[in-house]
């Protein structure tokens, strides 16, 4: 599961009110929401080269 699925509604592939989009959003929140932030993908899969569970952090100036 990847947060890129959010683009389905943004680009108009399906309307935001569609049950499939709503269910996808619920699953994204369940799997990718971390301390109030939406991750791009599950960090347990280790696709980013970091140990499982590690997340990137960016500082804003």
pLDDT for the residue 38: 85
Task: Answer yes or no: are the C-beta atoms of 47 and 8 closer than 8 Å.
Answer: no
Task: Answer yes or no: are the C-beta atoms of 17 and 26 closer than 8 Å.
Answer: no
Indicate whether 23 belongs to any domain.
Answer: yes
Element (H, E) at 28: helix 19-32
Indicate whether 56 belongs to any domain.
Answer: no
Q: Cα–Cα distance between 26 and 59 in angstroms, integer?
A: 28
Total domains, the chain: 1
Verdict on whether the full-model pTM lies above 0.95: no
pLDDT for the residue 56: 57
pLDDT for the residue 48: 57
Indicate whether 19 belongs to any domain.
Answer: yes
The residue segments making up the domain with residue 41 are 3-45
Could you read off the pLDDT of 21-52 as tens digits, one per residue?
999 999 999 988 888 888 887 766 656 556 65
Indicate whether 53 belongs to any domain.
Answer: no
pLDDT band (50, 70, 90) for residue 58: low
Task: Write down the mean pLDDT value for the chain.
Answer: 80
């Amino acid at each position: 599961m990847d947060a890129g699925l959010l683009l389905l509604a943004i680009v108009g592939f399906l309307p935001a009110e569609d049950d499939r989009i709503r269910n996808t959003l619920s699953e994204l929140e369940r799997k990718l929401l971390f301390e109030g932030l939406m991750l791009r993908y599950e960090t347990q899969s280790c696709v980013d080269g970091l140990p499982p569970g590690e997340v990137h952090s960016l500082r804003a100036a």
